[in-house]
Chains A and B, each alone.
Chain A
Amino acid sequence: MPKREDIHHILIIGSGPIVIGQACEFDYSGTQACKALREEGYTVSLINSNPATIMTDPATADRTYIEPITPEAVEKIIIKEKPDAILPTLGGQTALNTAMKLVEQGILEKYGVEMIGAKYDAIMRGEERDLFKTAMEEAGIETLKSFEVHDLDEARHVATEKLEFPIIVRPSFTLGGTGGGIAQNMDELMTIAEGGLKASLTTEVLLEESVFGWKEFEMEVMRDKKDNAVIICAIENMDPMGIHTGDSITVAPTQTLTDREYQIMRDASLKVLRVIGVETGGSNVQFCIHPETGRLAIIEMNPRVSRSSALASKATGFPIAKLAAKLAAGYTLDELPNDITRETPACFEPSIDYVVTKLPRFTFEKFPMADNRLGVSMKSVGETMAIGRNFKESLQKAFRSLEIGVDGLDLKAEAKVDEARLDDYLLTTCTERTIAIKMALKKGYSAEKIHKMTYMDPWFIDQILQIVEIEKQLIDAAELDHDLLKYAKKNGFSDDQIGALRGCTGNEIRALRKKFGIIPVYSLVDTCAGEFAASTPYFYSCYAELDETRPTDKQSVIVLGSGPNRIGQGIEFDYSCVHTVKALREMGYEAIMVNSNPETVSTDYDTSDKLYFEPLTFEDVMNIYEAEKPLGMIVQMGGQTPLNLADRLLEAGVPILGTSPKSIAAAEDRELFRQLLDKLKLKQPESATAKTLAEAEAIAERIGFPVMIRPSFVLGGRAMMVAYEEEELEPFVNAAFAASPDHPVLIDRFLEHAIEVDVDLVCDGKDVYVGGVMEHVEEAGIHSGDSACSIPPYTLSDEMVARIKTACTAMALELKVKGLMNAQIAVKDDDFYIIEVNPRASRTVPYVSKATNVPLANIATQIAMGLTLDELGLVGFEPKVEWYAVKEAVFPFNRFAGVDPILGPEMKSTGEVMGIDTNFELAFWKAEIAAGQVLPTEGTVFLSAKDRDKDWIEEIAKEFVESGFSLVATEGTAQALHSAGLEVTLTHKLAEDGKNVIDLMKESGVQLVVNTPSGPVARVDEIKIRSEAILRGLPIVTTESGAKATVKAIRYIKEHDWNVQAIQEYHA
């Protein structure tokens, strides 16, 4: 069946901002879908609120709507674009949920739009617990027994009559899975269920039979409308049941199942697709298997492309999302070619001849209050994947790809675990468990004992034991000879790791290795285990014999990617890397991409000329350099990851294209940078560097409080704090030293109530093109990644903007930047101060590029390759921006119970959205909605502020009253408002008897919370109030400027309608 001719225009729904559980894998799938459908001649419209995506690049779709992903916005797009069909299966749960609402609200029917990729009923059967269970029962597939209960009597009844202990208690609708647990007996059940019922918004808990410790598997399945169905990849979780699969270490293919057991699971997966009714596209089915009896039960299925399908695509080379899009358009699998072999059809099951390991990346250091145990709710913010010829190699490569300061499953990793608490690590589902297993094996724990403590399959434990044994051989050997070194390399030991064991440097090991002729070969990821010749150059390294690299005559350039997503370094950098690769290819160079993040567009083998899926370490990158002999490397696009390698690469003789690492160092080095500013007569907040606490105290006294404390060489404002008083200084300074050991700490004057501005520019050494000046909504002191901002500036004068541009131009030229530069500036009254300059791609590059329609990363790449701004026609060019584009940050607070959701100098957001419209108010309002802050137009506002904030709170309160809102406040704030002549209802403090604000929230008596922190160390009750708001999805504002922008936006939207407009229309 060829493609459908009865549809011409397809609307794709994206997944919105990066949040935990929904990251850039949906940019990868969405971008593939757009490409695949346009290739077939369809017109593609797209909605996605996330500006940092390749998907929302104007060239990806025909019509790109960077609008909030809500049924209302989609309806407006449908009215404008009149698509024939809507494709919701490539944009994660966000797209699926939006599409379901569109059906339920009758919108699709009203405008005659067909849902393709999945049908409403099938999605319901896949997602709705009872329907799913019934369907599985009909198919003869076991599900886990579970029962909803609403009180303790019901719980007791279920536990006595229907389930056996242990029983899992899962409260419904809670923040970050709080209140749940495993009950071993009735007493425990009563305690846990009582807590769970309290924590649940709906006073409901689910009692479920425990499969804790069972083996866990995932199957990635595709089906077409002719009922051809294939398994793309089977994944085994090394961490058994009990840890969310997104937080588990997972391995492809399965390692511990016989063919008989695998085929039973395969049959079940295909049956699930058929019973659920997934007609076309990819799905993910999760199973658990009892390790002693082999009993198989299904956990869940996702009737859409998922995070695991991105992993499966990268693990096998089979492009699931691309195929899913083509199947949705009517093709069948046998009609489509296998992209990699080009000769054989896509209707087959990939076979792989290597081992793939995925490790999750966590950022608990950002949320010290959060519970770092893992469970059923996902907590990791990113992931990395590594390919090896054996499991040990793959696991160790994955560890060094994590970029957590380890060189494998090595001694540095062990230093992260407190040996005295080893048993706790083994018994709890914590992030360091794999490391703890290695340490326990070294201490002499038997594999059997560790299996009993962790439930991990003994096969995996033995693999770790082998690493331990090789480590011992490396330590004990009198001489590191050829055979031992080669053996270690084959098992994934890095040069630095071996060096640490042998008491020498990694460079010395590297030299020895080369002397012995032990260099890696590169093998192809080809979907077919070598059975057919592959046309696609997608490589991984291993220490086997046959090298499959493909030297060409073309001049090539290596682009280093940004590794696993983390807070502070995510999709924005992948966006810049993808643009760099595109620019290089347009210029006729061979673009070679190196990255280790399976979620990304940059690791789509279609993006670059050659893809190396490798850890971003000096050793791994250098090996590729020596194999490919490129012109040089571009390191300014992938964030801190490649920059951290720049010095060592330069030292090894690698030409760094674009801005020299020396310029980067000059901007990072506080002293050199101060000299530069002095020379340019630019101001900086008064500052000094301290190497000890005593020095810090002396500096603070001299500068005067409040002071900002920042460690050097960190990402995303790690451990940055503002100290308002002397007592606060010591803990903050110590934290800064801990975050960046051996580096000085910078203390500078904190400018209160200053406006912060970000500038992105491109410099060719002679001229400068200022791409965008962004005015932050939140004042200076809030991390730039966490604050909303606007292009163009919405309060700054033209004159101030011009002065800032001039200053930035001067700095770029002085730093001899050849490429991108970002500057952060604080404007206070009529003065401005340079806070920070980074001569590299910033997080805001994609946002600026979309807001102004000038592709900064592309231009910077051309500059790095020797072109000039003059040649590119950008000298004196001013982009016309006749609209407002507001960026807003999105936070993971709902995953971390007990974490205070306030903003500060340390970045906490995982993603961003953009709102674009003709005025600031509307753009801001759209950005808030897109970020999940649905601003009310009527109802009650709860106000609570510290004394210093009382003045502006009055102003804001007046505006709310004028807009028809009622006010609620606690005593202090209420008094202030009262004396300003405002009508306000008093609510009790949490400690007092009587109705308090949390009770009000429970009764839906509050629609918006304006609550500023009382000081740097928040009171427990404030945190409770803010957490409760987050839990209930209430919009919450914690800053003065945020509150002002919010009330403006609300007043505007009360009186005006809003509409949607494609980015192509703005740019036209």
Chain B
Amino acid sequence: MKKAIIALEDGTCFEGRAFAGSGEFYGELVFNTSMTGYQEILTDPSYHGQIVTMTYPLIGNYGVNEEDVESRGIFAEGLVVSECSRMHSNWRATKSLPDYLAENGKIGIDDVDTRAITLHIRDKGAMKCVVSTEDLDKESLVKKAKASDGLVGRNLATEVTTDATYVWPKDGKPDATYKVAVIDCGIKLNQLRILDELGCECTVYPNTSAAEEILATRPDGIFVSNGPGDPAGAPEVTELVGKLIESKRPMFGICFGHQMLGLALGAETFKLKFGHRGGNQPIQDLRTTKVEIASHNHGFCIDADSVDPAVAEITHLNLNDKTVAGLKHKQQPLFCVQYHPEAAPGPHDPFYLFEEFIDLMKETK
């Protein structure tokens, strides 16, 4: 196995070896604390432009399978783990993790002290990095990391959105109760699977679509998906979402979609030090005070002070750091959450949010 170096923009380097792929990969180095679900994480388009460190040290144990994919391929630039299992065991497995990464042209690094990386990021913040098996000169690599683009201000969501509009389920859903227009900012398939399950036919639009085109189909509801990158870097998408809000149709946004809705409603976003990535975050529904455990994957967040109480109500709070986790429009059937009710990976506690979206569509139909 090839030696690999992870070089951070602050000059810190970690040595490991490539268990899959080779070459040079750039991205923001982040960590995820989920103990299961690496396949879903790798295929989540929100990780576009990022290199993911798994805090759980043993990864690859159960291989990969056909079902647990969240998009058309692997979006994370690379995966950093402590020990990648050399064999996998699970009745659904069809392939090994190293093969999966290699086939997707990505890199996997192991034999690294992932806790050291995690604590470094926790203390210093998520930062730009380069992973290389070619250039092993640390000084040169740090320079490259510094010089790389990074996430801030970039519109990554538009880089990963669908090229063409499509319908989900693929062959349409003649018996659908609701027609939902989905703005794809890097959607996880489980959002579509759940909407399908709940009786919706979804038309998935590129996030560069025109509002008029979407509204012309008179959807029962509009859904804005998750996606990668800096929400402030995608003003075109915010503008599109703003226009859609004006239609007063029921709207639901998740993660990046939540940030788009927030920005369109006049709030501001900021970058979290190292983000929330994991399946164990406590979210309190402020209306009932009940806590749900939720899956998270975001590096940016809506600033609570920027939310105009006349326009929107903060409905959910992340109890770990008291950041905004959910908003609801004061007058319109519109709400959104920062976290992932579609889970995959993660707990199913916030599944009810999809049902609330269905209820909104029912009420306004």
Report chain B residues within 8 Å CB of A355.
57-58
Report chain A residues within 8 Å CB of B61.
255-256, 459
Binds A, one of B88-96, B157-165, B239-247: B88-96
Identify B280's interface contact among A263, A267, A349, A466, CB under 8 A: A349
CB-based nearest B residue for A460: B89
Report chain A residues within 8 Å CB of B85.
459, 462
Chain A interface size band reads: 35 or more
> Closest approach, in angstroms, between the C-beta of B238 and any C-beta of chain A?
30
**Beta-carbon contacts of B87-120 to A below 8 Å, as 1s and 0s?**
1111110000000000000000000011110110
A294 within 8 A of B: yes
> Closest approach, in angstroms, between the C-beta of A456 and any C-beta of chain B?
10
> Closest approach, in angstroms, between the C-beta of B36 and any C-beta of chain A?
4
Report the bound CA distance from A353 to B90 in whole Å. 22
The answer to whether B91 and A293 have CB atoms under 8 Å apart is yes
B293 within 8 A of A: yes
**Beta-carbon contacts of B321-361 to A below 8 Å, as 1s and 0s?**
00000000000000000000001111110000000000000
Binds A, one of B62-70, B169-177, B251-259: B62-70
CB-based nearest B residue for A530: B118
Report chain A residues within 8 Å CB of B89.
256, 457-459, 462
The answer to whether A530 and B291 have CB atoms under 8 Å apart is no
Report the bound CA distance from A355 to B114 in whole Å. 14
Asked whether A258 and B65 contact (CB < 8 A) given A345-B320, A347-B282, A351-B55, the answer is yes
The answer to whether A389 and B82 have CB atoms under 8 Å apart is yes
Report chain A residues within 8 Å CB of B343.
263
CB-based nearest B residue for A291: B91
A344 within 8 A of B: yes
B72 within 8 A of A: no
Report chain A residues within 8 Å CB of B90.
256-258, 261
Report the bound CA distance from A457 to B91 in whole Å. 11
A197 within 8 A of B: no
The answer to whether B282 and A348 have CB atoms under 8 Å apart is yes
Report chain A residues within 8 Å CB of B40.
259
Identify B56's interface contact among A226, A353, A458, A544, CB under 8 A: A353
CB-based nearest B residue for A226: B290
Report the bound CA distance from A137 to B8 in whole Å. 54
The answer to whether B113 and A545 have CB atoms under 8 Å apart is yes
- For chain A, residues 460 to 480, give those with C-beta under 8 angstroms from any C-beta of chain B: 462, 466
B250 within 8 A of A: no
Report chain B residues within 8 Å CB of A256.
61-62, 89-90
> Closest approach, in angstroms, between the C-beta of A348 and any C-beta of chain B?
4
> Closest approach, in angstroms, between the C-beta of B107 and any C-beta of chain A?
21
Report chain A residues within 8 Å CB of B86.
462, 466
**Beta-carbon contacts of B30-60 to A below 8 Å, as 1s and 0s?**
0101111101100000000000000111100
CB-based nearest A residue for B91: A292
Report the bound CA distance from A263 to B91 in whole Å. 16
Report the bound CA distance from A974 to B122 in whole Å. 81
Asked whether A529 and B118 contact (CB < 8 A) given A228-B291, A230-B293, A258-B39, the answer is yes
B284 within 8 A of A: yes
Report the bound CA distance from A349 to B56 in whole Å. 14
The answer to whether B91 and A294 have CB atoms under 8 Å apart is yes
Report the bound CA distance from A390 to B86 in whole Å. 13
Report chain B residues within 8 Å CB of A266.
347-348
Identify A351's interface contact among B56, B87, B119, CB under 8 A: B56
B278 within 8 A of A: yes
The answer to whether A523 and B118 have CB atoms under 8 Å apart is no
The answer to whether B278 and A531 have CB atoms under 8 Å apart is yes
Number of interface residues of B (CB under 8 A): 52
CB-based nearest B residue for A391: B58
Identify A258's interface contact among B92, B119, B279, B290, CB under 8 A: B92
CB-based nearest A residue for B120: A546
A528 within 8 A of B: yes
Identify A390's interface contact among B36, B57, B119, B282, CB under 8 A: B57
The answer to whether A257 and B62 have CB atoms under 8 Å apart is yes
Report chain A residues within 8 Å CB of B311.
none
Report the bound CA distance from A546 to B113 in whole Å. 7
Report the bound CA distance from A310 to B212 in whole Å. 60
The answer to whether A531 and B57 have CB atoms under 8 Å apart is no
Report the bound CA distance from A71 to B162 in whole Å. 69
The answer to whether A462 and B56 have CB atoms under 8 Å apart is no
Asked whether A462 and B58 contact (CB < 8 A) given A253-B35, A257-B36, A334-B284, the answer is no
The answer to whether A531 and B33 have CB atoms under 8 Å apart is yes
A768 within 8 A of B: no
Report the bound CA distance from A391 to B87 in whole Å. 14
Asked whether A546 and B37 contact (CB < 8 A) given A255-B61, A258-B90, A263-B346, the answer is no
A532 within 8 A of B: yes
The answer to whether A258 and B37 have CB atoms under 8 Å apart is yes
The answer to whether A523 and B115 have CB atoms under 8 Å apart is yes
A966 within 8 A of B: no
Report chain B residues within 8 Å CB of A230.
293
> Closest approach, in angstroms, between the C-beta of A285 and any C-beta of chain B?
16
The answer to whether A353 and B55 have CB atoms under 8 Å apart is yes
B319 within 8 A of A: yes
Report the bound CA distance from A267 to B350 in whole Å. 12
The answer to whether B33 and A351 have CB atoms under 8 Å apart is yes
Asked whether A351 and B278 contact (CB < 8 A) given A267-B348, A530-B115, the answer is yes
The answer to whether A259 and B344 have CB atoms under 8 Å apart is yes
The answer to whether A348 and B35 have CB atoms under 8 Å apart is no
- For chain A, residues 263 to 279, give those with C-beta under 8 angstroms from any C-beta of chain B: 263, 266-267
B268 within 8 A of A: no
> Closest approach, in angstroms, between the C-beta of A518 and any C-beta of chain B?
14
B289 within 8 A of A: yes
Report the bound CA distance from A860 to B289 in whole Å. 51
- For chain B, residues 146 to 183, give those with C-beta under 8 angstroms from any C-beta of chain A: none
B24 within 8 A of A: no
CB-based nearest A residue for B119: A530
Identify the interface centre among A227, A348, A523, A529: most chain B CB within 10 Å of its CB: A529
B315 within 8 A of A: no
Identify A259's interface contact among B37, B282, B290, CB under 8 A: B37
> Closest approach, in angstroms, between the C-beta of B317 and any C-beta of chain A?
10
Report chain B residues within 8 Å CB of A206.
none
- For chain B, residues 274 to 302, give those with C-beta under 8 angstroms from any C-beta of chain A: 278-282, 284, 289-291, 293
Report chain A residues within 8 Å CB of B58.
255, 355, 390-391
Report chain B residues within 8 Å CB of A352.
35, 56
B83 within 8 A of A: yes
The answer to whether B87 and A462 have CB atoms under 8 Å apart is yes
> Closest approach, in angstroms, between the C-beta of A343 and any C-beta of chain B?
8
The answer to whether A259 and B68 have CB atoms under 8 Å apart is yes
A847 within 8 A of B: no
- For chain A, residues 219 to 255, give those with C-beta under 8 angstroms from any C-beta of chain B: 226-228, 230, 253-255
Asked whether A228 and B290 contact (CB < 8 A) given A390-B83, A546-B113, the answer is yes
The answer to whether A546 and B115 have CB atoms under 8 Å apart is yes
Identify the interface centre among A349, A350, A523: most chain B CB within 10 Å of its CB: A349
Report chain A residues within 8 Å CB of B348.
263, 266-267
Identify A260's interface contact among B56, B57, B68, B119, CB under 8 A: B68
Report the bound CA distance from A255 to B89 in whole Å. 9
A952 within 8 A of B: no
A262 within 8 A of B: yes
Report the bound CA distance from A528 to B277 in whole Å. 12
Report chain B residues within 8 Å CB of A391.
58
Of the A-B pairs whose beta carbons lie under 8 Å apart in the complex, a sample of 12, sorted by A's number, is A259-B346, A263-B346, A293-B91, A334-B282, A345-B319, A352-B56, A462-B89, A529-B115, A531-B55, A531-B278, A544-B113, A546-B113
A-B pairs, top 10 by smallest CB distance, nearest first, are A259-B37, A259-B345, A546-B116, A529-B55, A459-B89, A349-B280, A259-B36, A545-B113, A530-B118, A544-B113
Which residues of A are in contact with B by a Cβ distance under 8 Å?
226-228, 230, 253-263, 266-267, 291-294, 333-334, 343-345, 347-355, 389-391, 457-459, 462, 466, 523, 528-533, 544-546
Which residues of B are in contact with A by a Cβ distance under 8 Å?
31, 33-37, 39-40, 55-58, 61-62, 65, 67-68, 82-83, 85-92, 113-116, 118-119, 122, 278-282, 284, 289-291, 293, 319-320, 343-348
